[in-house]
A = this chain, B = another copy of it.
Amino acid sequence: MSASSYAYLGPEGTFTEAALRTLPEAATRELVPMVSVPAALDAVRGGEAAAALVPIENSVEGGVTATLDELATGAPLMIYREVLLRIAFALLVRPGTRLSEIRTVTGHPVAQPQVRKWLAAHLPDAQWESAASNADGARLVRDGRYDAAFAGEFAAPTYGLEPLVTDIHDARNAETRFVLAGRPARPAARTGADRTSLVVWLRDDHPGALMELLQEFSARGVNLTWIESRPTGEGMGRYCFSIDCEGHITDRRVAETLMGLKRICPNVRFLGSYPRAGAEQGAPEAAPRPGTADADYVAAAEWLARCQDGRA
C-alpha cells in the first residue's frame, strides 16, 4: 500500500470497487480494499493512502452512517469527487446450482431491503443470513456455507461463481453515492454544477436553531440537496446535521452562507466542494434565485463601497 494508492471499502468485488473503477485516475493507482469505512478513511488520515472511496448515501437505504460519522469527527478529511452508481444485484451461485435448489442466501445487510420483494416472490422459503459485505457473501457461497449470494454481477468471476439472475432491485433507480475523501487541501475546482458538503452543530439550548440554520441558506438562495441528522453521542436529543447544498465554496452566495453558519453555530466542518455527479439523473439543479449570482454580489459590494465613500 503506497502513499499514492486509493483505499476503498472492500473487499474486492463490492459496488465500491466498481464505483472506484469509474474514475479515470483509478487506472493508474494502486487500489487497496479495506475492511471498513473507518479503516479506509484512517488509511488516508495516516498518509498510507492518497484518498479513499466510501459510500455515503443510498437512494433506498439513506445515509451511510459510518461514513457520515467518520467524516464528522476525528482528523478532518475533505471530499474531492463523488460517484453515482446504479445498484442492481445478481444472484451468484456455484456453477450448476438451480433456483429451486437454493435454501440459504446471504449478502450485506444493506442489500437485504433492496432485494426483499424479489426474494419473497422468487425464493419465499429461502433463509437470509447477513454477511460482512456482498463480496464476503460471495466468498461464503464459494466455500459452500450458503447456496447463493446477492452481489454485483462483476463479483462473479473473482469468486468462481456464476450469475443465476441479474438486474435484481426492488426499487427502480436504486443508486448509491460514493465520495472520494482525502486530506484537507484546496477544494476541487469549480465547475458550475457543484455540491458543497458540511457538518453543522446546533446550539443545543435553542428550539428554533434548526430554522435559523436553514435561514442562512434560504436568505441567500442556496438550495439544500440533503440534510441528515446524526446524534452527537452526547445523549438523546443532541444532533448535528450533515448537509449538502448546491454550489461551490467560491460561489459568493455559498461563501456567505458558510460564514453565516460559522457565526451562529458552535461548530461547522467544511467537507468540500466538488463536481456534482449525475446532475442529469437526479433532480435538476434549480436556477439560482435572482440576485444571488456572483455578479450580483460584486455589484452590491461595489455599491456598498460607493456608499461608504459618499459616491452612491
Partner-B contacts on A (CB < 8 A): 57-63, 65-66, 69, 76, 78, 84, 109, 113, 129-130, 132, 171-175, 177, 184-187, 204, 207-208, 210-211, 214-216, 218-220, 223-231, 233-239, 249-250, 255-256, 258-260, 262-264, 268-270, 278, 281-283, 286, 290-292, 296-297, 299-301, 303-304, 307-312
In the assembled complex, which residues on chain B have CB atoms less than 8 Å from the CB atom of A66? 113
Report whether over half of chain A's contact residues are helix, strand or loop; otherwise say mixed. mixed
A60 and B259 in contact (CB under 8 A), knowing A216-B219, A308-B249? no
CA A91 – CA B2 in complex, angstroms?
37
**Distance between A254 CB and nearest chain B CB, rounded to angstroms:** 10
Q: Out of B65, B223, B229, B309, which one reaches A227, CB within 8 Å?
A: B229
- Are A229 and B307 in contact, with the CB atoms below 8 A? no
> Given known contacts A235-B281, A262-B300, A270-B312, what 7 new A-B pairs fall within 8 Å (CB)?
A59-B237, A175-B235, A187-B307, A210-B214, A228-B229, A237-B283, A238-B283
Nearest-neighbor residue (CB-CB) of A224 within chain B:
B210
- Are B69 and A65 in contact, with the CB atoms below 8 A? no
- Are B113 and A69 in contact, with the CB atoms below 8 A? yes
Interface centre among A215, A220, A259, A304 (most CB of B within 10 A): A259
Nearest-neighbor residue (CB-CB) of A66 within chain B:
B113
- Are B184 and A270 in contact, with the CB atoms below 8 A? no
**Distance between A180 CB and nearest chain B CB, rounded to angstroms:** 15
Nearest-neighbor residue (CB-CB) of A218 within chain B:
B211
- Are B309 and A186 in contact, with the CB atoms below 8 A? yes
Nearest-neighbor residue (CB-CB) of A131 within chain B:
B130
Q: Out of B60, B84, B238, B255, which one reaches A233, CB within 8 Å?
A: B60
A301 and B259 in contact (CB under 8 A), knowing A60-B231, A62-B65, A311-B184? yes
A237 and B225 in contact (CB under 8 A), knowing A186-B308, A186-B310, A310-B78? yes
A307 and B249 in contact (CB under 8 A), knowing A219-B219, A227-B210, A228-B228? yes
In the assembled complex, which residues on chain B have CB atoms less than 8 Å from the CB atom of A207? 223-224, 286
CA A297 – CA B230 in complex, angstroms?
28
- Are B219 and A249 in contact, with the CB atoms below 8 A? no
In the assembled complex, which residues on chain B have CB atoms less than 8 Å from the CB atom of A291? 263-264
CA A101 – CA B113 in complex, angstroms?
37
In the assembled complex, which residues on chain B have CB atoms less than 8 Å from the CB atom of A187? 307-308, 310
- Are A264 and B236 in contact, with the CB atoms below 8 A? no
In the assembled complex, which residues on chain B have CB atoms less than 8 Å from the CB atom of A210? 214, 224, 227
CA A258 – CA B171 in complex, angstroms?
30
**Distance between A30 CB and nearest chain B CB, rounded to angstroms:** 24
25 A-B contact pairs sorted by A residue (CB < 8 Å): A57-B236, A58-B231, A59-B233, A62-B65, A109-B109, A172-B234, A175-B236, A177-B236, A184-B310, A186-B309, A207-B286, A210-B214, A211-B214, A215-B219, A219-B260, A226-B239, A235-B281, A235-B282, A237-B283, A256-B256, A258-B307, A260-B300, A264-B291, A268-B303, A270-B312
